[in-house]
Amino acid sequence: MSGRNRLAEVEDDPIVAGALKHFKASVDAWSEAAYSQPRSAVMTTRHTWRLAATWALGCLLAAGSLAGTLYERHVQRESARIAAMKAAIKAVEQRAALVHKTAEQPVAARTNAAQPPIAAKNASNEDEDLLATVDSDVSRQVPAAMEPLAQLMESNGAN
């Protein structure tokens, strides 16, 4: 039996046809009642306020973070400026003390001060020796630790 034949038999049966009519009527009544009920906008309003409050708090947090960062940067710049001013004042005071001290010294002491002391000459010689050592280390073709291996390579190349 095909599906159409069964459908035709069911529609011909008065009990099934009555049940289908009652079912259709109840679905239509339920649909009409559901469509005629007033819609409540309370849930939408609550959701909208929650979304607005979330955005407002997020913007407030971002603005606070930005303001805190800018304030911290300002404080660092001001403290650096104050430290530079203190260093400049200290340097000026030291120069003034040196000038005052130099003015108090006799002329003979100033001429001796103009000649570099022996310790300064030794320090300059040490600096020159250090620079010569650095220059020789930099100009090497191979590091000091690799020199024995470099000599082996040179002797192998000559063979």
Per-position pLDDT tens, the chain of length 159:
566 667 677 677 888 888 889 999 999 999 999 888 887 665 656 678 888 899 999 999 999 999 999 999 999 999 999 999 999 999 999 888 887 777 666 655 555 555 555 666 677 788 888 888 877 777 767 777 777 887 887 766 554
Tell me if residue 116 falls in helix, strand or coil: coil
d(CA 21, CA 12): 13
d(CA 138, CA 112): 40
CA 3 to chain centre: 71
User: What's this model's pTM, rounded to 2 decimal places?
Assistant: 0.35
d(CA 82, CA 3): 96
Token representation of residue 41: 């906008």
